[in-house]
Structure 1
Amino acid sequence: MNVKRKTETASRLSVAPMMDWTDRHCRYLHRQLSRETLLYTEMVTAPALVRGGALHLLEHHDAEHPVALQLGGADPRELAQAAKLGANAGYDEINLNIGCPSDRVQSGCFGAVLMERPELVAECVAEMRAAVDVDVTVKCRIGVDDQNPEEILPEFLARIVATGCTRVQIHARKAWLQGLSPKENRDIPPLDYPLVQRMKGYFPNLHISINGGITSLEQAEALLAGGLDGVMVGRAAYHQPADVLGTADRRIFGQGQDTSAEEAVHAMLPYIEAHLTSGGRLNQITRHMMGLFAGRPGARQWRRMLSEKASKPGAGPELVLEAMRQVEALALTPEDV
C-alpha cells in the first residue's frame, strides 16, 4: 500500500493534534494501543522550522507510523519549505492548521483566522502540494465569528478542492476569535454535525473527517455509518486512551486484536528504559499514561503514584510496574476510580 493510500485508510480514525499533549511520547503510547489509527503531531509553526531551524520538533519514532505533521503558518513559500522538511523527516502526511483560535496564532495571522481568507489558504495548499509527494490535508472550523457556515464553508472547501487536496478534517464548531478563550472555543460554540455531513453530499469525492465533541468509539461508528469518511477524536483519546484506541483496530478497521491497558504498559517499558538511558525523565512519558486505567478499579491510585513519584530522581520502569500492581490489587470503590 502506498503512503497516500495508507494515510487515507488510517484516517478512518485519527487522534487530533493537541498542543502540549500529542508529543512523540504520547504518540508512541497511542501506537501501542492501536496499530491502524492515524496519529498527528502537535502543531509546529512553519517559521520555527524554516527561520528558527528547530528541526528537533520533527523528531519521532519509526513505530509511530502512520503519523502526520501539522503545520501552522500563512506564508505559502515558507509553508512549502516546512512541508518539505516534514516530508524529508519521514512524515506520512502534512496537515495545515486552519482551526486554532489562540491569541498567539491570531497575532501571526494563521490558524482559524484564515477561515476569512480562503484564497490565501488555497495558495498555501497549492505551494505545499507542489513541494512534497505525501498527502497535504487541511484541518479547519466550520467558520469564525459572524460568518454563516452554511454559506462560507462550501466556498472554503471548493477552493481547497481546486488545488487538488483530497482530504480535510472539519471541527464541527465555529471559532470565536473575539470573546472566547482557546479552551472555551473547544466547548462553548455549538456542534453542527449535520452541516459537516451535508458537506460530504456537496463534495462526494472529498475525504471528510469530522472532529469535535466525540467521546467514544460508539459515536465514531455512528458518524462513519452516517456517511463520513473519518472521525478525529481529541481529548477522549488522551484522557481515556485504552477505551478509545484499545479496541479501535477491530471495531473501526476490522482487523487486529484488542489491546488492554496492561499490555500497553508492558509495551512501553523498553521505550521508557531507552528514554531514561538517553538522559530523559520518567514523567516526560508517564504524564501521558495517567488515563490508561480511567474508570477502572485502582485508577486513582495509578494516577497518584505516577504523579507523585515519576518526577523523582531515579524513578524508572519499576515504578510503573508497581503502580500497575496497585491497580490489579485494588477492589473497586468510589475513591479508586
Structure 2
Amino acid sequence: METARPAARRPGEVALKQAPVAADLVVEPEGDGFALELPVVQKPQVANRPGGRPKWLRAKLPYGETFRDVQKTIEEFDLHTVCSSARCPNMGECWSAGTATFMILGNVCTRGCSFCAVLTGRPEQKELDMDEPRRVAEAARLMGLQHVVVTSINRDDREDGGAPVFAETIRLVHAQGQTIEVLIPDMRGVRSALETVFEARPEVLNHNVETVPRLYRRVRPQADYQRSLDVIQLAKTEYGLRTKSGIMVGLGETQDEVVSLMADFAAHGVDVMTIGQYLQPTRHHLPVEEFVHPDVFAWYKEQGEALGIEHVESGPLVRSSYHAERHV
C-alpha cells in the first residue's frame, strides 16, 4: 500500500503541526483495563457542578497575609478589580503574590456579553471620576508593583469611551517609574478616543477579541470582530505600540477556526496572545461546550508562534493579565 503524500503547500504557506490525536497520547492503566486521555474532554452535563471539572482546572484558593493586604488596599482606595468582578480563577494566586488587575470607569458595563460576570446596565454616574487615576497609581505604589495592569468596563454611554481616565492613569503610573498594560474596550471604534489612549503610550496595549468570528453573535453581540482587529492594527502600525489580544476556548469553536484567528492576529500585528478555557461564571451565562485538554493548549501555542505571533500564553487557566509582567 502506498503511503499518502502530504498535500503540497502554497507559496508562503506555513507548515502547521497536526493537532494531538489519540495515538500521540499516553495510555495509563486503570483498574483491569486502560484509560486513554483524549485531547478534548466530552461536553460536560453540568459544567459547574463541584467535582465536574477536570483536574487541570483546579485553581488555588485565596489565602495568606499578602492576599488580605491586596484586598484591604483595593477597598481603602474604593477601587474595582477585574479579578473579583469577573470571578477570575487566578485571583487566589495573583493576590497572594501581591498583584491585581485594576478595573476603572466603574463596575457596571454598558454591554451584555453572554460570557462575562461583570454587571450590565447603565452607569449611575455618567461623568468620569478623574480622581480614579490617582487612586489607582497610589494603590499600585503601596502594593510595590513594578508592572501595573488596568482594564475597564465598556462605556458606550460616552463618546470618549472613558479614554481620558485611561490616559491619565497611564501618565501617573509612568510618573512613579512603573510600566503599564492597558486592556481596553473597542470604544465603538471612535478614533479620537482610541488615540487618546495610544498617545499616552502604555508599554502594552491589549484588546481582547474573545472568540472566533462565527460565535460573535452568541458571545459578543454588541461587538464586531473586524473592528477589534482594526483597533489592534491602529495601535501597532500608527503608534508602534506593543500589542496583545486574547480568546477563550471551549465555547464551541473548532481548532481550524482558532488557527485561522491566529493568522488574522499575525496579519494585524498582535505581538502577544493569550488563550484560556472559558468557565461559566453562573448558570445564567453561556454553558461550557467542552473542556479543552492541556495538550491542545500547547498545540495552539506552537501554531500561533509558527504563524508569527511573538509570544502565545496558552493554558486552561490563562487569562488576559496572567503573568502580564512577562509580556512587556
TM-score by length of 2: 0.44
- Name which structure has the greater RCO, CA cutoff 8 Å, separation 6+: 2
